[in-house]
Amino acid sequence: MIGVDEYDRIRYLFAVEGMSRREIARRLGVSRNTVKKYCRGASLPGERKTVQRECKITGPVRDIVSGWLEEDESAPKKQRHTARRVYDRLRKEHGFQGGQSTIRHLVREMRPKEKAYIPLEFDPGEAAQVDWGEATVVIAGERRKAHIFCMRLCYSGAAFVTVFPNERTEAFLEGHKQAFEFLGGVPRRLIYDNLRTAVKKGWGRHVTEERPQFRLLKAHYAFRTNYCNPGEAHEKGLVEGLVGLARRNALVPMPQADNWEEIQSILKERCVEYLSHRIPGRDGTVGEMLQEEKASFVSLPLKPFDPAEEVEREVRPDGMVSFDRNWYCASPDLVGQVVTVKGSPTKVKVFHRGQELAVHERRYTEGKRYYGGYAPYLKILETHPRAVRNAAPVRQAGLPRELFAYCYQSDDPESGRDLVAILRLIEKNGRETVYRAVHDALLAGEHGVGSIRSRLGKATGSGHELPASCGFPVKDVNLGDYDLLLKGGGAA
């Protein structure tokens, strides 16, 4: 191998002075092969050629692995070969003796690389991206699967995140409504996957028909849509990242609440906090850029969109109406009447002539009855008190066993009437107050609803409480006063 100085002389004599290779070799005392190699600048001194050597361990199985990975291109993403599966198959089907790490490196080398993409920029108010994700939350002490609705603006990066029990049409539409209200306007274009709640026919740029309810939402908020090509998640990478961001931050640790609305409030607070965040490379915070972007939004319509599913139902003799494969209490007073039932993602509301009769938590079971309490049935139970012990609305209310033990201490036929009367007291005084009075009465060995009224009267300082029909309170009897009267004295 020659040095840089010799290479310099060879190149100069050949390229500048036009000397022949033989003369250069004679003058410099090097071989003609060396002059031939370097005179035209085809090689540099010290340069090494890359030698492709076949690995003795993976060489015999390289074509096999390559074939499997090529087949994966037409297989579902979640059913493609992992490095571990390749290793297991090679051992079982081809007697491979190498290590698992060797195959892991081979698969990483041979697996198709990610495609390049073009970075995008958007004008204020031009577009937003929408997607769903999944997480787990705790509602009323029970772990529930939550479906995360995410919308993110492409210019400012402002985000809206909320959760629903599922991804049905009502939830999809409600998510848009809440997002637009949170952001203070409507971006001119929304970008989606090929969601079945939005798309009826086609996919990507070939979408030919959208769902009727989604078309109505689009018309009401005056925005247009684009759909990503299948398998091209980078086309809506902003919201793809938001799903993971929400799951790792806003939903860690798992939020706990009594209902879905409380979880939604928690996430809304996190969205507000995110407005103070500064995205690297942006000129201002998310909130500052959102204020700039609002000037380019489509303004909100005067009337908010109502995504609830609405049906009319006749009230059955048991006071129930059917909705979405379940039964909910309307009112026993309206048997035979037609009422309106509206189902949002989390609530079922019953209306009659514009008046709200009942609100229930929406359930996604099938063939179940949900009474929402016994209060609507108290009027009937007062005329049929013997039915109260087995009345389904009372049993589903989860009353404490102490209450039944107190009222049914004997086979007295009036026991049912006492229980109904105590249920009335619960409606008036609250559960905890009445339950405490029942507990104390049991410990004292007392019996009957009169004792409960007396204890409630003492608790409120109004004396012994009589039924509502009496219309006035009566003080507790003081036997000391009675003794004084027998002796001819006055009241103490």
Q: Give yes or no for residue 487 having a pLDDT over 90.
A: no
Section 89-97 average pLDDT:
91
Section 394-406 average pLDDT:
90
User: What is the residue-averaged pLDDT of the chain?
Assistant: 87
Phi, psi (deg, nearest 5) at residue 72: -60, -25
Section 444-453 average pLDDT:
87
Section 264-273 average pLDDT:
94
pLDDT band at 473 (very low <50, low <70, confident <90, very high): very low
311-361: per-residue pLDDT in tens?
999 999 999 999 999 999 999 999 999 999 999 999 999 999 999 999 999
- Rounded CA-CA distance 31/53 in Å is 30
127-294 and 309-370 share one CATH topology?
no
- Rounded CA-CA distance 418/171 in Å is 45
Q: Give yes or no for residue 259 having a pLDDT over 60.
A: yes
Section 95-123 average pLDDT:
83
152-180: per-residue pLDDT in tens?
999 999 999 999 999 999 999 999 999 99
Q: Give yes or no for residue 103 having a pLDDT over 60.
A: yes
The predicted pLDDT at position 57 comes to 79
* 153 three-state secondary structure: strand
The predicted pLDDT at position 79 comes to 85
- Rounded CA-CA distance 320/285 in Å is 52
362-373: per-residue pLDDT in tens?
999 999 999 999
Q: Give yes or no for residue 465 having a pLDDT over 60.
A: no
DSSP line for 155-220:
TT--EEEEEESS--HHHHHHHHHHHHHHHTSB-SEEEE---TTTEEE--GGG--EE-HHHHHHHHH
* 299 three-state secondary structure: coil
Which among 220, 235, 224, 237 has a CA at the least distance from the CA of 181?
220
The predicted pLDDT at position 462 comes to 53
pLDDT band at 461 (very low <50, low <70, confident <90, very high): low
Contact criterion met (CB below 8 Å) for 145 and 138: no
- Rounded CA-CA distance 443/434 in Å is 14
What is the percent of the chain where pLDDT is above 90?
Answer: 52
- The fold of the 309-370 domain, in CATH, is OB fold (Dihydrolipoamide Acetyltransferase, E2P) (2.40.50)
Highest mean pLDDT among 1-15, 24-38, 193-207, 313-327: 313-327
The predicted pLDDT at position 464 comes to 44
Which among 306, 307, 344, 337 has a CA at the least distance from the CA of 323?
344
* 352 three-state secondary structure: strand
- Rounded CA-CA distance 491/427 in Å is 38
Output the six-digit token pair for 273. 């906090």
The predicted pLDDT at position 195 comes to 87
Phi, psi (deg, nearest 5) at residue 417: -65, -40
Q: Residues near 435 by Cβ (< 8 Å), separated by ≥ 6?
A: 400, 402, 403
The predicted pLDDT at position 75 comes to 82
Section 129-146 average pLDDT:
92
The predicted pLDDT at position 241 comes to 79
Output the six-digit token pair for 152. 């993110």
Output the six-digit token pair for 484. 């004084």
407-441: per-residue pLDDT in tens?
887 777 778 899 999 999 999 999 999 999 999 98
The predicted pLDDT at position 114 comes to 65
The predicted pLDDT at position 470 comes to 40
pLDDT band at 480 (very low <50, low <70, confident <90, very high): low
Output the six-digit token pair for 314. 């006749």
The predicted pLDDT at position 252 comes to 85
Q: Give yes or no for residue 492 having a pLDDT over 80.
A: no
What is the percent of the chain where pLDDT is above 70?
Answer: 89
CA quadruple 388, 389, 395, 399: dihedral, nearest 10: 100
DSSP state of 114: P
Q: Give yes or no for residue 283 having a pLDDT over 60.
A: yes
CB atoms within 10 A of CB 476: 9
177-191: per-residue pLDDT in tens?
999 999 999 999 999
pLDDT band at 234 (very low <50, low <70, confident <90, very high): low
More confident residue, 203 or 309: 309
All structural domains of the chain with their residue ranges: 1-51, 59-110, 127-294, 309-370, 376-479
- Rounded CA-CA distance 349/336 in Å is 18
Q: Give yes or no for residue 47 having a pLDDT over 50.
A: yes
CA quadruple 380, 385, 387, 388: dihedral, nearest 10: 90
Q: Give yes or no for residue 488 having a pLDDT over 70.
A: no
Hey, which CATH number is domain 127-294, 1.25.40.80, 3.40.50.300, 3.30.420.10, 3.40.605.10?
Answer: 3.30.420.10
- Rounded CA-CA distance 459/457 in Å is 5
